[in-house]
Amino acid sequence: MTNPDSAGSDADASTPTAYDDLLERYRRATYLSDANGVLSWDQEVMMPEGGTPARSKQRGAVSAVAHDVLVDEETADALDALDGVDLTDDEAAVVREIRREHERKARVPTELVEEISTATSEAHPVWNEAKAADDFDAFAPTLAELLDLKRRYAEHIDPDADPYATLFAEYEPYLDLSTAERVLEELRDGLVPLIDAIGASDTELYALEGTFPEDDQFAVTEAALETLGYDFEHGRLDTAPHPFSTGTQFDARVTTRFDESEPLDSLASTIHEFGHATYTLGLPRDAYGSPLGEHRGLSVHESQSRLFENHVGRSKPFWELFVDRFNDHHDTELTPQQAYEAANRVYDDNLIRVEADELTYHLHIVLRFEIERELLAGDLDVEEVPAAWNDRMESYLGVRPETDAEGCLQDIHWSHGSFGYFPTYSLGSVLAAQLYAAADEAIDGLESQIAAGEFDALHEWLTENIHQHGRRYTTGDVIERATGEPLTADYFLEYAEAKFGELYDL
């Protein structure tokens, strides 16, 4: 199909074919992975419970063939043929991304991949029961085994690197672990005194009380998606046990869940997932299947969700815009200021990460990051985790969990073997603040636009600076191109101090 004569003068005659072959194989792997995304969405949202055994087999088979396509010899040959060859910038970015994925996957023996897959499947119920019984000892041997497996996994990928850095790069390929470390330290050092000051403040923010039926909450979340400009021709909203977003630039879906006493939680988490879906829908459609049509990594993804959740959905202008719709559905009579306060209350005695407010959240992350690093480095034994956890909770937040169920057993991530994932949550928040500041600089009257329900300029700015590039640039380059500087916690801390300083009269 490609005429060799049309290749550029610097390029080997075989280049176009090797490039086309490589991209075609990668596309197949992407389509297969996205097929698995649909199977997974269905499992969470639609599948009757009895379907589990068959679904596990189906997902396993699709994963296996997607993996095979990426690691097999033909992919390796195409990559070899492209080594050192002159390519356009976009082609070079495509090859860089595929090469990275191929190498990381090809270096890990299939047996180890399978061993990890089996171990994590078995770990999930063990963790679940240990948490229910508040019995860390029951989970400890499993956690030790998963740490060992993931350490071996990381060593296969890069025997010379810090295993934690290798695992972190699974989720955030192009930010150094040292950057993550610096940003998390800045966050910790800035947030601990701010949260202390809030705890010491006499100001009480407005609190929402009452019972808010699920149907009304569903209507409110749907209204919020409409208000923000969610494209229901390319997505849908459903309920699921955990809020998530999944899909492609053609079909990016959102789920939510409800607690009848916390209508602001479902709203915030739906807006969060909307941010993820908006990124996905902003990826270029004509690059579907190629790295240029895929998201840049979890930190950038999380920045899009946090930007909408916090900088839009928890802002004063948003509540000026939205409070009437909220009141209509819930039959409340909130003022914009009351809603704004209720959406921004800081709970410094909360033990649970997923229930944390915008500020204390990051100390939950810092704690996990520090413990994970020490575990992987061998500086902390599994048996010491509960004490290390509780001590840090006391030091950062001034509360000490009375049970491990409310402490180190609360999150599902470790039972998945997902070590190195947590930091991307905070990096995403920090980046959200940095991007929002840049957008605010670039867009005339952004806050008035939000209050007027005009989101086009914001969507356009995000699409132009982030979404449309897919994986064209590395994470650091994306950030610098969009904001003019490297990732920094400064904007988040400035934003937090201004917003909560005003709210709590500090």
- Compute the least distance from the CB of residue 273 to its own copies, in Å: 15
Q: Give the neighbor-by-neighbor strand order of the sheet with 237-239.
A: 237-239, 251-256, 245-248
Is 102 annotated as belonging to a binding site? no
Indicate whether 55 belongs to the interface with its own copies (CB under 8 A): yes
271: Cα within 13 Å, side-chain hemisphere: 24
Binding to its own copies (CB under 8 A) within 153-192 occurs at none
Q: What are phi and psi of 239, to 5 degrees?
A: -100, 150
DSSP 287: G
Is 302 annotated as belonging to a binding site? yes
Query: What's at 378, amino acid-wise?
Result: G
Indicate whether 199 belongs to the interface with its own copies (CB under 8 A): no
Residue 84 burial (CB count, 10 A): 8
Q: What is the dihedral of CA 411, 415, 419, 424, to 10 degrees?
A: -40
Candidates 350, 353, 386, 358; CA nearest to 371 is: 386
d(CA 390, CA 381): 15
Which residue in 8, 137, 226, 285 binds its own copies (CB under 8 A)? 285
Which residue in 16, 243, 289, 291 binds its own copies (CB under 8 A)? 289
Residue 362 burial (CB count, 10 A): 27
Indicate whether 256 belongs to the interface with its own copies (CB under 8 A): no
- Compute the least distance from the CB of residue 117 to its own copies, in Å: 15
Which residue in 15, 120, 179, 249 binds its own copies (CB under 8 A)? 249
Which residue in 156, 250, 460, 468 binds its own copies (CB under 8 A)? 250
- Compute the least distance from the CB of residue 360 to its own copies, in Å: 37
Site string for its own copies, 68-87 (x = CB under 8 A): -x------------------
Strand 237-239 with 245-248, pairing: unpaired
Indicate whether 236 belongs to the interface with its own copies (CB under 8 A): yes
Indicate whether 486 belongs to the interface with its own copies (CB under 8 A): no
For its own copies, the closer CB: 244 or 425: 244
Q: What are phi and psi of 248, to 5 degrees?
A: -130, 180
Indicate whether 61 belongs to the interface with its own copies (CB under 8 A): yes
Which stretch, 25-33, 85-93, 383-391, 459-467, contacts its own copies (CB under 8 A)? 25-33
Catalytic residue among 273, 309, 370, 372: 273
Q: Positive or negative CA dihedral for 253, 257, 263, 269? A: negative
Instruction: Note whether 110 and 397 are within 8 A (CB).
Output: no
| Token pair belonging to 490 | 């400064």
Which residue in 57, 124, 242, 481 binds its own copies (CB under 8 A)? 57
Which stretch, 39-47, 84-92, 204-212, 260-268, contacts its own copies (CB under 8 A)? 39-47
Binding to its own copies (CB under 8 A) within 204-233 occurs at 231-233
Residue 175 three-state SS: coil
Candidates 413, 378, 412, 405; CA nearest to 389 is: 405
Indicate whether 54 belongs to the interface with its own copies (CB under 8 A): yes
Is 372 annotated as belonging to a binding site? no
- Compute the least distance from the CB of residue 277 to its own copies, in Å: 11
Which residue in 28, 99, 107, 413 binds its own copies (CB under 8 A)? 28
Which residue in 2, 4, 20, 42 binds its own copies (CB under 8 A)? 42
Residue 285 three-state SS: helix
d(CA 278, CA 231): 9
Instruction: Note whether 284 and 292 are within 8 A (CB).
Output: yes
Which residue in 11, 22, 23, 62 binds its own copies (CB under 8 A)? 62
- Compute the least distance from the CB of residue 148 to its own copies, in Å: 25
d(CA 174, CA 89): 18
Which stretch, 99-107, 241-249, 322-330, 451-459, contacts its own copies (CB under 8 A)? 241-249
Helix (H) or strand (E) holding 316: helix 316-330
Which residue in 96, 99, 107, 234 binds its own copies (CB under 8 A)? 234
Q: Let me know if 273 is a catalytic residue.
A: yes
Strand partners, 10: none
Indicate whether 39 belongs to the interface with its own copies (CB under 8 A): yes
Strand partners, 247: 252
How many secondary structure helices (H) and strands (E) does the chain include?
20, 3
Q: Provide the binding-site residues for its own copies, judged by CB under 8 A.
A: 27-28, 31-32, 34-36, 38-39, 42, 46-55, 57-62, 64-65, 69, 231-236, 247-251, 285, 288-289
Residues known to be catalytic: 273
What residue numbers does the annotated binding site cover? 272, 276, 302
What residue numbers does the annotated binding site for Zn(2+) cover? 272, 276, 302
